[in-house]
C-alpha cells in the first residue's frame, strides 16, 4: 500500500524536469508522483462503490439496467467534481437475457432428452420459441477439413470485416438452402462466416430453428461453445459440439425430429457511455484511456471490469488532484454494453468523423487488470509474437508498457488483439492501440505459475462472468501493479511532445476481422 505523504513535493516532481531516476518516456516524463498518488486503497474504494450499487440492484451492473445507470452516475459525479468536462453519450442497443435454460429433446426416431451446457447452449440474441420439427442438414463438410461454408451462401451475404452491420441481400448468389423445407430445423456447421449470416440465411429460408455445431477440424473447434448473433432474431438458435452435431446428422436419414424451446428477452434499451476530458491539452493529439463499465447479467463484475474502470477513474482523479496539465488532451471513456459485443465503443467510434479519428493519437485499454490467478499481459502491438498487429503506432504503445515493466523488474508476456475488448473498434478505424490484461477464463500454465505464482491448471479468473466476480475476486498485487503501469502509460502519452508513429498520416493498418466480438465468438 502506498501513502499520499508530501503530496506538494510529489507535485513538483511530476511538473518539473524529471528528478527521480525512475522509468522515463522518450520526452523525459516521470510518472513517479502520479503512481504514488494512485493508491490501491483509492482504486478499491471505487470497486467497493460498484459492489454496493450491484448489491442494491439485483447483483448486477449489466447495461440497460439500474445497476449500470447508477455506476455511470457515480463515475460522472466523481469526474465533474474533479473539474473534467463530462458528458453522457446515449445510444440504444440490443439487450439480451436468457430467462430460463433452453431445452432440446429428440422426439423421433427415439425419445431422448439432451442436457443444457453439456450437449447444447443458447446463442446470444436467440429468439424465444417452442418448436418441434424435422432436422435438415445444410451443406456440411464431413469429414471436416477446415474452411466450412455451411450456411454462408443464401439470400444474404457479408460485406467487409469487423462488426455485425454488414449483412446485405444477395439474391443472385449461390444458395446452401436450395431445397430446404420451410419449417424444418437447420443443422449448420461452424466455419468461415459469422453466426449472424448463417442464422440470417436460415431464417430467410423459413427455418423454424437453427443448431450450429462446432467445425471439428482442430481440437479447439470440437467442444461445445458460446457465440453471439450480434442482434435480435425471431427464431431459436442453439450451439453444439462437433460430436453432437455429427450424431444428429447421422440420425437425419432415420427421420430425426427435435423439440426445442428457448425463453429469452431480446429488445432495444437505452444506455450511456461516460466521457470525461481534461480541460487542457492539444486536441489534435488526444489520448483515449478506456475501460468498460458494464458487467454481465450473472454478476456484479467487480473484476470484469470494475478493475479497469476503477483504475482509470482513480488515475483521472489524481491527475486533477496533482494539478497536472497535460500537453495532449486526455479523454477518459467508460464504455457501456461491452459485454453485449463492444457496442459502446463501436457506437463511440462510429460517431467520429475522419478528422476526429485522425486527432486521436492512441487508445489505451484496461479490461480485467486484477485477475486472482493473474499473468501480466501486454497487448502485442507489433504482432511479432502473436501474428496479429495493431495499426501503425501500436508497437510504440507496447514498448511503453514493456519498458516500464522492465524498469520495475516485473515479468510480463504478450497477448494478442483478439477482438475481445473495446480496442476492437479503434483498431478497425486505424487508431494505434494497446493496453493491459491479467487473464480471463484461460488456464494458467506450469511455466506461468513458476513466473507469476498462483496455481497452474486453473483459470486466471475462475469467477469470470459469474456471480462470484465480486469485491473479493481480486489479486491486490496485480491490481496495484497494473494500476501503476496504466498511470505511467496515460501520463507518458499525455505529456509526450511527439506524435505516436504513423498517426500524423491518417488511418493506419491493423487486423480487425476478429473471431470475437467482445467476450463472445462471432464466427
Work out the number of other CB atoms within 10 angstroms of the CB of residue 446. 8
Can you tell me which residue has the cell 453471439?
Answer: 228
By CB atoms closer than 10 A (0-12, 13-18, 19+), residue 403 is middle
Q: How many CA atoms lie within 13 A of 248 on its CB side?
A: 34
CA dist 188 and 242 (Å) reads 11
Does residue 291 contact residue 308 with C-beta atoms inside 8 Å?
yes
Q: Is the peptide bond before 75 cis (omega within 30 degrees of 0)?
A: no
CA dist 472 and 468 (Å) reads 8
The full length of the chain comes to 523
φ, ψ at 448 (rounded to 5°): -65, -40
Q: Which residues contact 470 (CB under 8 A, 6 or more apart)?
A: 51, 54, 299, 300, 302, 463
CA dihedral 168, 169, 172, 175 (to 10 degrees): 90
Can you tell me which residue has the cell 488526444?
Answer: 286
DSSP secondary structure code for residue 116 in this structure: B
CA neighbor of 345 nearest in space, from 419, 286, 398, 396: 419
Please pick, among 36, 98, 158, 338, the residue that the annotation labels catalytic.
338
DSSP secondary structure code for residue 214 in this structure: -
Does residue 261 contact residue 208 with C-beta atoms inside 8 Å?
no
Work out the number of other CB atoms within 10 angstroms of the CB of residue 370. 31
CA dist 140 and 190 (Å) reads 9
- Verify whether residue 338 is a known catalytic residue: yes
Does residue 143 contact residue 131 with C-beta atoms inside 8 Å?
no
Which region, left, alpha or beta, applies to residue 50 given φ > 0 means left and ψ of -120 to 50 means alpha?
A: alpha
Helix extents (H) in 16-99: 32-37, 40-55, 66-81
Radius of gyration, CA atoms only, the chain: 24
Catalytic residue annotation:
338
Amino acid at each position: 500500500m502506498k501513502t499520499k505523504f508530501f503530496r506538494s513535493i510529489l507535485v513538483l516532481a511530476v511538473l518539473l524536469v524529471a528528478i527521480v531516476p525512475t522509468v522515463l518516456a522518450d520526452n523525459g516524463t516521470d510518472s513517479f508522483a502520479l503512481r504514488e498518488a494512485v493508491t490501491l486503497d483509492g482504486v478499491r474504494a471505487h470497486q467497493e462503490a460498484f459492489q454496493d450499487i450491484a448489491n442494491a440492484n439485483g447483483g448486477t451492473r449489466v447495461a440497460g439496467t439500474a445497476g449500470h445507470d447508477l455506476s455511470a452516475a457515480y463515475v460522472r459525479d466523481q469526474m465533474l467534481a474533479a473539474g473534467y468536462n463530462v458528458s453522457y453519450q446515449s445510444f440504444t442497443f440490443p439487450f439480451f437475457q436468457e430467462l430460463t435454460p433452453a431445452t432440446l429433446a429428440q422426439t423421433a426416431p427415439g425419445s431422448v432428452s439432451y442436457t443444457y451446457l453439456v450437449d447444447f447452449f443458447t446463442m446470444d440474441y436467440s429468439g424465444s420459441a417452442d418448436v418441434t420439427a424435422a432436422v435438415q442438414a445444410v451443406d456440411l463438410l464431413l469429414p471436416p477439413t477446415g474452411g466450412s461454408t455451411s450456411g454462408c451462401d443464401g439470400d444474404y451475404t457479408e460485406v467487409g470485416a469487423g462488426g455485425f452491420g454488414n449483412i446485405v441481400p444477395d439474391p443472385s448468389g449461390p444458395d446452401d438452402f436450395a431445397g430446404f423445407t420451410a419449417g424444418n430445423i437447420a443443422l449448420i456447421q461452424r466455419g468461415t462466416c459469422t453466426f449472424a449470416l448463417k442464422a440470417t440465411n436460415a431464417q430467410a429460408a423459413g427455418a423454424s430453428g437453427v443448431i450450429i455445431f462446432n467445425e471439428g477440424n482442430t481440437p479447439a473447434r470440437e467442444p461445445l461453445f458460446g457465440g453471439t448473433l450480434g442482434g435480435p432474431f425471431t427464431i431459436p438458435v442453439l450451439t453444439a459440439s462437433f460430436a453432437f452435431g455429427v450424431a444428429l446428422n447421422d440420425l437425419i436419414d432415420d427421420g430425426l425430429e427435435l423439440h426445442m424451446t428457448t425463453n429469452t428477452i431480446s429488445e432495444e434499451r437505452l444506455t450511456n457511455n461516460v466521457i470525461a476530458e481534461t480541460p487542457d491539452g492539444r486536441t489534435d493529439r488526444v489520448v483515449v484511456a478506456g475501460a468498460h463499465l458494464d458487467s454481465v447479467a450473472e454478476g456484479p463484475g467487480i473484476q470484469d471490469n470494475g478493475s479497469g474502470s476503477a483504475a482509470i477513474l482513480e488515475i483521472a482523479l489524481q491527475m486533477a488532484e496533482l494539478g497536472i496539465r497535460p500537453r495532449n488532451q486526455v479523454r477518459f471513456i467508460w464504455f457501456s454494453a461491452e459485454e453485449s459485443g463492444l457496442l459502446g465503443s463501436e457506437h463511440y467510434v462510429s460517431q467520429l468523423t475522419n478528422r476526429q479519428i485522425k486527432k486521436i493519437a492512441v487508445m489505451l485499454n484496461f479490461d480485467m487488470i486484477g485477475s486472482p490467478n493473474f499473468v501480466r499481459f501486454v497487448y502485442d502491438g507489433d504482432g511479432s509474437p502473436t501474428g496479429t498487429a495493431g495499426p501503425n503506432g501500436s508497437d510504440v504503445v507496447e514498448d511503453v508498457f514493456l519498458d516500464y515493466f522492465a524498469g520495475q523488474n516485473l515479468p510480463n508476456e504478450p497477448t494478442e488483439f483478439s477482438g475481445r475488448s473495446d480496442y476492437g473498434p479503434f483498431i478497425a478505424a486505424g487508431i494505434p492501440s494497446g493496453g493491459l490484461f491479467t487473464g480471463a477464463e484461460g488456464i494458467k500454465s506450469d511455466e506461468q505459475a513458476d513466473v507469476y505464482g498462483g496455481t497452474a491448471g486453473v483459470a486466471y479468473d475462475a469467477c469470470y462472468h459469474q456471480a462470484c466476480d465480486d469485491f473479493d475476486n481480486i489479486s491486490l498485487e496485480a491490481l496495484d501493479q497494473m494500476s501503476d503501469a496504466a498511470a505511467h502509460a496515460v501520463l507518458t502519452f499525455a505529456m509526450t511532445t511527439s506524435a505516436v508513429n504513423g498517426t500524423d498520416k491518417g488511418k493506419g493498418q491493423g487486423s480487425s476481422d476478429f473471431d470475437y466480438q467482445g467476450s463472445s465468438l462471432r464466427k
